């Protein structure tokens, strides 16, 4: 049986003092009525009202009793419902923990299945890498270089020989020296492209200037012919 919280007891005593009754006596009396699970809420309100009205000596305060009785019962019902709700949640959490513990032995099966899936993914990844190497791997024998004018000096490359079987451990290993060499190579290619663009731009500019001079020459000649007529 729920005995009530300290907060409810304080609330009850505070309101009993308003109607000037013995709080120690009537507190226990009212709590006894509220704790009676065989009574409905309306019956509890009626029982509390009858008990307190007899004890109240001041007629002006007696009119407050029915409203106070309703407040006592309403607050009590809400508090009991909240306590029952908390108890239910605790029971559900306990049941969930028990269910988790019961399912623990089967977790090894899940782990084994996950390990098999990981092994399968690794094998598939290795196979894909091998196919990519077989199809696209090239080995540069000599680095492409250019002279001071940007012309090609050396260019020689050959298809990388692939081998059957597992891929070498260092096949996909990072190589800083190779990266630096590749970066320098890209810089040289970029410089060559810029040089070629500049040469084309200058050639186009000279062509436009020559065309402009030719048009001006023709315009002057035409003007002179008209003046000589």
> Which two tokens mark 84?
């029952």
Q: Are 21 and 52 in contact (CB under 8 A)?
A: yes
Rounded to whole angstroms, the Cα distance separating 144 from 186 reads: 10
Closest CA to 52 of 76, 79, 19: 19
Q: List per-residue pLDDT tens for the chain, 229 residues long.
A: 677 788 988 999 999 998 888 888 888 889 999 988 899 999 999 999 998 888 888 888 888 899 999 999 999 999 888 888 889 888 888 888 888 877 665 555 555 555 665 665 666 666 655 665 565 554 444 445 555 565 555 455 454 444 444 444 454 455 567 677 777 778 888 888 888 888 888 888 888 888 888 888 888 877 777 777 6
Q: Residue 101 and residue 97: Cα distance in Å, rounded? A: 6
User: Furthest-apart CA pair in the chain: how many Å?
Assistant: 143
Distance (Å, whole) CA 140 – CA 220? 60
First to last CA, the chain: 133
């Amino acid at each position: 049986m729920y005995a009530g919280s300290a907060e409810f007891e304080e609330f009850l005593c505070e309101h009993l003092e308003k109607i000037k009754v013995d709080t120690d006596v009537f507190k226990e009396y009212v709590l006894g009525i509220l704790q009676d699970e065989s009574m409905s809420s309306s019956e509890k309100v009626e029982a509390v009202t009858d008990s307190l009205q007899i004890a109240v000596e001041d007629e002006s305060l007696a009119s407050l009793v029915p409203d106070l009785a309703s407040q006592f019962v309403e607050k009590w019902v809400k508090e009991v419902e909240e306590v029952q709700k908390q108890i239910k949640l605790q029971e559900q959490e306990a049941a969930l923990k028990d269910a988790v513990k019961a399912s623990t032995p089967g977790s090894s099966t899940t782990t084994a299945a996950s390990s098999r899936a990981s092994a399968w993914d690794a094998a598939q990844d290795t196979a894909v890498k091998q196919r990519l190497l077989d199809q696209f791997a090239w080995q540069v024998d000599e680095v492409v270089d250019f002279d001071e004018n940007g012309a090609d000096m050396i260019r020689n490359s050959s298809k990388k020989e692939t081998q059957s079987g597992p891929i070498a451990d260092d096949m996909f290993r990072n190589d800083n020296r190779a990266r630096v060499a590749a970066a320098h190579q890209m810089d040289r290619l970029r410089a060559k492209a810029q040089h070629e663009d500049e040469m084309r731009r200058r050639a186009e500019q000279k062509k436009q200037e020559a065309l402009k001079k030719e048009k001006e020459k023709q315009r002057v000649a035409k003007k002179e012919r008209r003046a000589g007529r």
